[in-house]
Structure formats: structure tokens, C-alpha cells
Amino acid sequence: MSIRRFAVVWLMVIAAAAGALSAVSAGKTLTNDPLTGLPIPPSEDKFNLGNEPMVMDPSQMCKSTMKSDFYTPNGLKMNATAAWYESKLPGFKKVEGWHNSTSIVFYKPDGTAAVALTGMPAPQGQDSGVHGIVYSQFTPALPEKAFAGFATGNVDCR
């Protein structure tokens, strides 16, 4: 391969890489979840990737269809994030659990929406980092007693 051809190929590789990096760095930063309309807590975004959710496939939960958006926040702690949600979601109820991980679930008493925080396993009362936040919408509404099972791993659909 001649030096000229090598230089042209190398420039094309650099241009493609630069284009890919600029596309990645153009992520949107959302303040509300598109599925539920509920607020999203601010978290670190060192690389300007945005915080758009991973849209999960709909699934069955009891007799309801559950649609969910999954977020992977950076630098959030469970206690502070739970306090943030308590201030932003008036009227929502809260359940906490320490089944296989630390989890806190906020849900609408009418059973139509929930926000679940999952973190590192930690003894009850101790703080841990938030690993994931899931916003869910239920159609038809999920029975209120089912939400208690979200935090224990034992969902009661009756």
C-alpha cells in the first residue's frame, strides 16, 4: 500500500471515529421520564452522554401490562435520592426492602405508576449507591398490595 493510500485510509478512520464520538456526546438530558411524565433526579454526566432511558419490553405483572424505562444514574446515593423523590412525588406511597439488594419503590396509590430505586446490598438504615432507576406504568392499574412485594421479591396479585 502506498503512503498516499495509507494516509487517505487513516484520515477516513479518524473522520469516522470523530463522527461517532460527536454522535455519542450529543445525548439528551431529560428532566422528566417520557413514559410516566415523572421527574428524573439530576446525576453526574461527565461525558455529556445524556440520560435517555433504556426502554424495556412490555411485560405482565399480575393482570396488568407493565411498560418501563430504565435509567443508570451516576453518583447518586439511596438516602438522598429517596428524599429527593419524597419531595417531588407528593401523594405517592413508599415501600423499602432489603431482599437481594437495597430497594425503594414509590407508587401512585391508584396503581398506575411507580418508580423503583435499586442499589448495592446494605444493612437496613445504611446508605448505598443507586445502580438503577425504573419508571413503570401499569394498564390496568396494579392492586396496591402488589407494590409491597416489589421491595421483598414476593408480589401478591390478589
Mean pLDDT over 20-31 rounds to 65
Q: Within a domain: residue 83?
A: yes
Do residues 73 and 150 lie in contact, with contact meaning Cβ atoms separated by under 8 Å? Answer: no
Q: Within a domain: residue 141?
A: yes
* C-alpha torsion 155→111→62→54, nearest 10: -90
Q: Distance between CA 111 and CA 149 in Å, rounded?
A: 13
Q: Within a domain: residue 8?
A: no
pTM: 0.80
> Poorest-confidence range of 39-43, 59-63, 108-112, 126-130?
126-130
35 closest CA partner among 152, 149, 139, 142? 139
Mean pLDDT over 116-125 rounds to 83
Q: Within a domain: residue 124?
A: yes
The answer, yes or no, to whether residue 16 has pLDDT greater than 80, is no
Number of domains in the chain: 1
- b vs e for 121-131, b when ≥16 Cβ sit within 10 Å of the residue's Cβ? eeeeeeebebe
Share of the chain above pLDDT 70, in %: 81
Higher pLDDT, 15 or 114: 114
The answer, yes or no, to whether residue 145 has pLDDT greater than 90, is no
The answer, yes or no, to whether residue 36 has pLDDT greater than 90, is yes
Q: Distance between CA 9 and CA 109 in Å, rounded?
A: 60
The answer, yes or no, to whether residue 40 has pLDDT greater than 60, is yes
- Tell me the pLDDT band of 99, cut-offs 50, 70 and 90: low
The SS3 assignment for 141 reads coil
Q: Within a domain: residue 17?
A: no
pLDDT computed for residue 15 by the predictor: 42
The answer, yes or no, to whether residue 65 has pLDDT greater than 80, is yes
Determine the structural domain holding residue 141 and report its residue range.
54-152
The answer, yes or no, to whether residue 82 has pLDDT greater than 90, is yes
DSSP assignments along 99-121, one per residue: SSSEEEEEE-TTSSEEEEEEE--
Residue in this structure with the C-alpha cell 405517592, named with its chain if needed: 92
The SS3 assignment for 96 reads strand
pLDDT computed for residue 26 by the predictor: 58
